[in-house]
Structure 1
Amino acid sequence: MSSELPDEPVSNPDQAQTIRIEEEMEQSYIDYAMSVIAGRALPDVRDGLKPVQKRILYAMEESGITSNTGHRKCSNIVGDTMGKYHPHGDSSIYDALARMAQEFSLRYPLVDGQGNFGSVDGDPPAAMRYTEARMSPLGEEMLTDIDSDTVDFQPNYDDRLEEPIVLPSALPNLLLNGSSGIAVGMSTNIPPHNLGEVIDGLIHRIDNPDCAISELIEHVKGPDFPTGANIVGRSGIYDAYTTGRGKVRLRADMEVDEEQGQIVVTELPYQENKARRIKRIADDVNDGTIEGIRDIRDESDRDGVRVVIELKRGANPDVVKNQLVKHHLERTFSIIMLALVDGQPRILNLQEMLDAFLEHRREVVRRRIQHELDNATERAHVLEGRLLALDNAEEVVELIRDASDRSKAKAMLRSTFDFSERQADHIVRMQLGSLTSLETEEIESEYASLTDQIERYETILSEESELLGVIKSELRDLKAQYDDDRRTAIIEDAGTVSHEDLIPQEESIVVLTESNYVKRMALSTFDAQHRGGKGIIGTKLKDGDRVNAVFHANTHDYLLCFTTEGQVYQLKTYEIPEMSRTARGKSAVNVLDLDPDEDVTAIVNTEEFNGDQSLTMVTKNGYIKRTPTTEFGNILSTGIRAVSLEPDDELVDVVVTNGTADVLIGTEQGRSIRFSEGDVRPMGRSARGVNGIELVDDDRVAGLVAVSDADTTLLTITEHGYGKRTPIEEYRAQSRYGKGLVDIKTTSRNGSVVALEAVSDEDDLILMSDDGQIMRTHAKEVSCQGRNTMGVQVMNPDESDRVTTIDVVPCE
């Protein structure tokens, strides 16, 4: 069998066309896309309805299913719509009908449903044979005056009937109920709004045709969702109203009941599936993603949403609330104000959307007034003939009686009295009873009224201001009838929920070791003891490791961590892993980029920064420097240089000073020197500093204290756990770079000085040893003694152990 093509084409050559396949595909796809865009997915800017919604309402109007009649089976409504106007599947028509009846989907439902029309839990509506519906009063407003030649009609799908191209729509439904839809290559997502606010915006636009969008936003404050909840911030609203696109954050409305230990959710973000959301919260609680929740109950009913979240004892309600907001109870609503304008899809800003509706109302009201004018003019014309006939009643009756039939009677009336065809026909059909004097008065009254109406109609049609006045008056009447309170509150944007918001504020103890292990523990873990005890285990050390530093901080504090190498790093306390007393901790490289031989030697809390302050630093070899805190505002993750050090020197201590304080440097061998902070001029970060104390006999600096309160005492702690408090006035001020005075008598019994702190009686002390023992005691447990004394036993470490460091928990 030959595979060759025939020489002659099979079809008629005169009818054959040569086309390129890509051109045909392109055109066919465009035709399909426009069919979807205009015929299914996008609303008309004038009435805010998609074709299926418009046809459902018109079919109900034609069937007389209004808000004043009884409900009708939805299957009947769907059948009428499908058979007359919308030749598509019944399920798509019923879905649209059901949505127009859902109070949680539409801000102002257009259909009044009876039966199960679904729920916020995602339950589908019952089958259409079980549910009933009728138009809501607002739905009827969409079709007001449709019989007054207000809109154009077009043939239905089979040319048997006619359907309106657009509904008259007395209300701006596109803004009131919003719309969502996905077309080919585009989508729309217009949020619902409050009726009163939108009408106020329309009236302001009528009165101020040159107003800016910012003025309209004063009236149309933002979306108003049927499920309430909160809009966080106004920037997304402004973007949407000025550009047609924007994103708003919707947050559930919650009440925190601390007495009952509950968080009660009363409003959910728009289009949120309540049952699914509750399940996901429960899953996160079980997985440990959300902590502090004991139970979740759904107590919602027909009156609204009520989800009760029971908290565990001791849980922080604010932290749990922030966790819920971050993971579950806040979502983003993307606004795309896309609608059909003259059959073409366009993204509109608020002003353009209001203008499009007003232009539609101008046309509708103008056509309605013209229709009423035509009717009134025709009626007045008939009444004019009737009045003339009454004035000549006997002659008219005689003429009609002498005529052989109606046609001749009308001809004789027209020739005798110059009646028009319409007038003559009406007179011939008059009853004799209408010739009474009372009837004459009624006709004269009606004629006078019609004359006034005609004059009014002509004025409205000839003057734009009068036409706009009618529109304004009708809008005000609708507002008075249907306005309600805003449901969605607009709250100030305090920023998105950060990781910090999910961390409870808690006083903590942070431990670092020489091998760079770090962890934090709750301060409440350590009860205060009397002085002289051993403390309790505070960390588990690996062989050869020692505790390097311990300090107190709140989990939300920003800390500056200074190292022996003169570097400074910034750290948030909550970034340090929280672990138990017996845990070793995690490698500090996870939070600080330390070199192998670099140890943290001082911690400064940036919460103490409140003005023109400085960080005053002292090194092991006695150098001191003062650098403004403003130099430490932008610290890299790899740290920055805080002080330049000589090869054999190390940074020992850092304190915050205010420019008017005295500073006191203490050494390991018990010497101390006090001098004015002003003796040290401010320097940059790269400076080495100046001599602060003259060291002798291989002595080294142990610590630095800022002295600003004469009532404080100087606490000195030695390596064997001895300590004392001495009134600060016993340390007279000297010039910088002297040998100083004796602070504490150091011997083999009490050991070298390891730390100095300024304390008051109300402060608590946290002491820690090389082997990881931690002891908390009250500062007042340490007795006040003179300078040249050995002190008392504050902590009693093992013989092979030694006190390494202390920190002060200030009194509240």
Structure 2
Amino acid sequence: MGKDLQPPGGGDGASSEPVDMKKALEERYLAYALSTIMHRALPDVRDGLKPVHRRIVYTMRMQRLEPGQRFSKCASIVGDVMGKFHPHGDSSIYDALVRLAQPFAMRYPLVDGQGNFGNIDGDSAAAMRYTEARMTEAATGILEGITEDAVDFRLTYNEETEEPTVLPGAFPNLLCNGSSGIAVGMATSIPPHNAAEICDAALALIDDPELDLDGLLKHVKGPDFPTGGVIVEDRASMREAYETGRGGFRVRARWEKEDQGRGQWQAVITEIPYGVQKSRLIEKIAELIIARKLPLVDDVRDESAEDIRLILVPKSRAVEPELLMESVFKLTDLETRFPLNMNVLSRGKVPGVLSLKQVLREWLDHRREVLLRRSRHRLAEIERRLEVLAGYLIAYLNIDEVIRIIREEDEPKKVMIARFDLTDTQAEAILNMRLRALRKLEEFEIRKEHDALSEEKTGIEALLASTEKQWKTVRWEVAKVRQTYDPEKNMALGKRRTTFADAPEHDLEDVAVALIEREPITVVLSEKGWMRALKGHLADFSTLSFKEGDSLKLAFHAQTTDKILMFTTGGKFYTVGADRLPGGRGHGEPVRLMVDMENDQAIVTAFPYEAERKLLLASHGGNGFVVAEKDIVANTRKGKQVMNVKSPDEAKLCVPVSGDHVAIVGENRKLLVFALSEIPEMTRGKGVRLQRYKDGGISDLKTFTMEEGLTWQDSADRTFNRKREELLEWIGNRAGAGRLAPKGFPRTGKFAS
């Protein structure tokens, strides 16, 4: 290494200092975090802008790109922003500029773009050398008064020029256009709102500074997205969100049913939620249709031109439109949740989550501060001008002497100051007068201007001295903005686009069923607890194959949209969706893998769920009760404990309830018949005694209508029927012992063979 390249101290380590690594990292990371929070990701509550947006708008002001004036190449704007104010990449600056011009991204665009600025499908804008831009009315509102000392300026990154720390913000940009960003350890997400509503709320807050949130929400109905849509959030949660500054809004696409004639129809979507790319949305819906996860939808088409028009074609005309849309809302971005996190830079310095009232309060306070600064600036200008005009009047009154002094004296300025008691400013102004200004008429004009300025000065001084007048002026300024964006006068920009509605009260079960393609299946359960679902309704179960040593326990017909309920010897019910059962190619899967079933329990029975049905449960010891089927559905793998049984007793039977009487037979072959009304209906418990036994337990039970009689089948499939007269000796009260079964009753002790 050459001598010139030696580090300080000659490279011998004598000049190095030990550094605490933890402290050094903390300091550097804190500096980075603060930089990200203050100068990149969070908007200022006063003008609603992040530094990059503020610099873009200010640069366009410097280039005089006013509304109605010429357009300028975006490359020129981006170049100026990057070279003078924003030391970052040109692509990031251009991306920010493009977003400010997109009508589907900004509720009130700040940039009027000419050329390809991207679209709602997610296509990017053309290169900056092809596109042109200028400011919109909203941007000029934010900048109003920038040259009148309305805000503070600071040196730019290279200290060659100055930039505003915040803009005057006559337009309430933060709430009207919203903002989103991710900083370090914090983020912000503010939805756009309607300008007229925000102005109305601000005016109400000026009139009554103590106005509560409910008073503000009479004006601010909720977010107003540029892409429209329907907000289905309930009012209570929206109020809480505005009160705390945190929350969210469920936004749905706007759709309508379009009749095609002869009973045919299709769903037409005309507005999609804010921030959703249309092309990606259609791809997702198409993928779900192919995957058969949207069984009610047959096809999706995009017929959009300038306006959005997405077509959803139903599988059949019998499909309920609302149910079809609910199924699509559930699985796609046709329903999204836009978060509210009003994390902003309060007073431009302190990041914090503010409520709606606090945001409006800070904006109004800023507007008052801008008014005061502009008024003081104007007052100083008036005083300077009055000073000059007073000098002009002295000159006119002594015009000949003034001309003589200018012609003859070596230093006319000093002589005039001494001769007429002028200030340096007045003498300089007189010396700079043009000869044409020496007309007689000019004196009249000067006196007229002097009087007008004096009157204006008096008005400004009165304004600066009265807080009431200041707020009155701020109110007038806000009302002027309100008039610009009045929904009745400016339909295109002012009219609310997002509406409110209650989400249809569809049963979640109906929606879940709508997401499953309905197909007939046969559910098969083996003795060892293996379960599967075969396609179609099989008539012959004898052809079913099982693992060695296993056999058929039960099989029944169902639909893929059904819930399958399983009852175990432990008195628990488990629920499994029929669409989730393993297919019938193999031997299925053990039930214990599907649900969390105890090892010492076995399945008593399984059947498809029927909401209106009631079941009679019985334990081996002879206890039982009636339970409504809707009360036994389990929503978790752990199942639902319904019948309380203690070892050695266990749940033994579960039969559907029909009729008015119960026939119960014990292992001792004693039969008892009693009224069904004697058994209570419960949601959970041990139940009541159904039949009394000295030893053994229950064998079978059955509910029947006494008028039709009690029937059973023997092993030869012969059917027996006993009417009331033939059953008299077996009819008794619940919990009796009963009498030996009549002649012909099956030896198996079961009512069905």
TM-score range, shorter chain: 0.7 to 0.9
Q: State how far apart, in whole Å, the 2-side matches of 1:619 and 1:685 are.
A: 11
**Correspondences of 1:123-138 after superposition (within 5 Å):** 123-138=123-138
Structure 2: which amino acid aligns with 1:736? N
1:736 aligns with 2:736: no
Which is worse superposed, 147-156 or 237-246? 237-246
Which is worse superposed, 44-53 or 639-648? 639-648
CA distance 1:540–1:385, shift in 2 (3 Å): farther
Indicate the SS of the match to 1:503.
helix
Q: State how far apart, in whole Å, the 1-side matches of 2:85 and 2:151 are.
A: 17
| Aligned match of 1:809 | none
CA distance 1:120–1:553, shift in 2 (3 Å): closer
Please, which of 362, 365, 372 is the counterpart of residue 359 of structure 1?
Answer: 365
1:49 CA drift (Å): 2.0
| Aligned match of 1:269 | 273
1:629 CA drift (Å): 6.6
1:502 aligns with 2:507: no
Structure 2: which amino acid aligns with 1:347? G
Q: State how far apart, in whole Å, the 1-side matches of 2:587 and 2:136 are.
A: 69
Q: State how far apart, in whole Å, the 1-side matches of 2:479 and 2:722 are.
A: 81
| Aligned match of 1:175 | 175
1:72 CA drift (Å): 1.6
Q: State how far apart, in whole Å, the 1-side matches of 2:149 and 2:573 are.
A: 77
Indicate the SS of the match to 2:9.
coil
| Aligned match of 1:102 | 102
Q: State how far apart, in whole Å, the 1-side matches of 2:542 and 2:312 are.
A: 36
- Cα deviations by residue, 1:469-515 (Å, 9 ceiling, x for unpaired): 22222112212212523334455578999787332397988756562
| Aligned match of 1:475 | 478
CA distance 1:365–1:157, shift in 2 (3 Å): same
Q: State how far apart, in whole Å, the 2-side matches of 1:643 and 1:161 are.
A: 82
CA distance 1:591–1:117, shift in 2 (3 Å): same
- Cα deviations by residue, 1:604-655 (Å, 9 ceiling, x for unpaired): 968449xxxx97556789x564468799679783553626599799744556
**Correspondences of 1:139-178 after superposition (within 5 Å):** 139-178=139-178
Please, which of 458, 461, 479 is the counterpart of residue 458 of structure 1?
Answer: 461
Which is worse superposed, 320-329 or 92-101? 320-329
CA distance 1:682–1:76, shift in 2 (3 Å): closer
Runs of at least 5 residues in structure 2 that lack an aligned partner in the other structure: 487-493
1:176 CA drift (Å): 2.2
What number of residue pairs does the alignment pair up? 716
| Aligned match of 1:82 | 82
Structure 1: which amino acid aligns with 2:474? I
**Correspondences of 1:405-804 after superposition (within 5 Å):** 405=407, 429=433, 435=440, 440=444, 449-483=452-486, 484-492=494-502, 501-504=511-514, 513=525, 515=527, 516=529, 536-537=539-540, 541-542=544-545, 545-546=551-552, 548=554, 555=561, 562=567, 565=569, 567-571=571-575, 574=578, 577=581, 587-589=590-592, 593=597, 598-600=602-604, 607-608=611-612, 617=617, 623=622, 625-626=624-625, 637=638, 640=641, 642=643, 651-654=652-655, 662-665=660-663, 673-675=673-675, 677-678=677-678, 685-687=685-687, 689-691=689-691, 701-705=700-704, 716=711, 718=713, 735-736=732-733
| Aligned match of 1:781 | none
Indicate the SS of the match to 2:345.
strand
| Aligned match of 1:338 | 343
| Aligned match of 1:773 | none
Indicate the SS of the match to 2:312.
strand
Structure 1: which amino acid aligns with 2:342? M
Confirm or deny: 8 A CA contact 1:665 1:693 kept in the other structure. no
Confirm or deny: 8 A CA contact 1:187 1:336 kept in the other structure. yes
Structure 2: which amino acid aligns with 1:46? R
| Aligned match of 1:348 | 353
| Aligned match of 2:191 | 191
Structure 2: which amino acid aligns with 1:642? M
Indicate the SS of the match to 1:487.
coil
Confirm or deny: 8 A CA contact 2:704 2:710 kept in the other structure. no
1:328 aligns with 2:332: yes
Which is worse superposed, 590-599 or 129-138? 590-599
1:114 CA drift (Å): 0.7
Q: TM-score, normalised by structure 2?
A: 0.76
| Aligned match of 1:789 | none
Q: State how far apart, in whole Å, the 1-side matches of 2:684 and 2:82 are.
A: 82
CA distance 1:172–1:432, shift in 2 (3 Å): closer
Confirm or deny: 8 A CA contact 2:657 2:703 kept in the other structure. no
Structure 1: which amino acid aligns with 2:496? R
- Cα deviations by residue, 1:420-442 (Å, 9 ceiling, x for unpaired): 77677778959688646x985x7
Which is worse superposed, 588-597 or 342-351? 588-597
CA distance 1:11–1:460, shift in 2 (3 Å): farther
Confirm or deny: 8 A CA contact 2:225 2:498 kept in the other structure. yes
Structure 2: which amino acid aligns with 1:501? V
Confirm or deny: 8 A CA contact 1:240 1:349 kept in the other structure. no
Confirm or deny: 8 A CA contact 1:322 1:502 kept in the other structure. no
Structure 1: which amino acid aligns with 2:512? L
Please, which of 252, 261, 279 is the counterpart of residue 283 of structure 2?
Answer: 279
Indicate the SS of the match to 1:302.
coil
Q: State how far apart, in whole Å, the 1-side matches of 2:725 and 2:228 are.
A: 65
1:458 CA drift (Å): 2.3
1:463 CA drift (Å): 1.9
Confirm or deny: 8 A CA contact 1:679 1:736 kept in the other structure. no
Indicate the SS of the match to 1:691.
coil
Structure 1: which amino acid aligns with 2:371? V
CA distance 1:537–1:445, shift in 2 (3 Å): farther
Confirm or deny: 8 A CA contact 1:602 1:652 kept in the other structure. no
| Aligned match of 2:225 | 225
Structure 1: which amino acid aligns with 2:661? V
CA distance 1:49–1:194, shift in 2 (3 Å): same
Please, which of 297, 301, 304 is the counterpart of residue 297 of structure 1?
Answer: 301
1:309 aligns with 2:315: no
Confirm or deny: 8 A CA contact 1:673 1:741 kept in the other structure. no
Indicate the SS of the match to 2:143.
coil
Confirm or deny: 8 A CA contact 1:624 1:692 kept in the other structure. no
CA distance 1:745–1:133, shift in 2 (3 Å): farther
1:590 CA drift (Å): 5.3
Q: State how far apart, in whole Å, the 1-side matches of 2:332 and 2:742 are.
A: 59
CA distance 1:541–1:148, shift in 2 (3 Å): same
Structure 2: which amino acid aligns with 1:152? D
Q: State how far apart, in whole Å, the 1-side matches of 2:461 and 2:257 are.
A: 62
Q: State how far apart, in whole Å, the 1-side matches of 2:725 and 2:207 are.
A: 77
Q: State how far apart, in whole Å, the 2-side matches of 1:401 and 1:514 are.
A: 123
Confirm or deny: 8 A CA contact 1:680 1:690 kept in the other structure. no
Q: TM-score, normalised by structure 1?
A: 0.71
Indicate the SS of the match to 1:665.
strand
Q: State how far apart, in whole Å, the 2-side matches of 1:421 and 1:150 are.
A: 28
| Aligned match of 1:758 | none
**Correspondences of 1:194-209 after superposition (within 5 Å):** 194-209=194-209
Q: State how far apart, in whole Å, the 2-side matches of 1:691 and 1:340 are.
A: 76
CA distance 1:638–1:134, shift in 2 (3 Å): closer
Confirm or deny: 8 A CA contact 2:570 2:650 kept in the other structure. no
Query: Sequence identity of aligned pairs in percent?
Result: 32
CA distance 1:499–1:586, shift in 2 (3 Å): farther
| Aligned match of 2:490 | none
The alignment's C-alpha RMSD in Å is: 5.4
CA distance 1:125–1:448, shift in 2 (3 Å): same
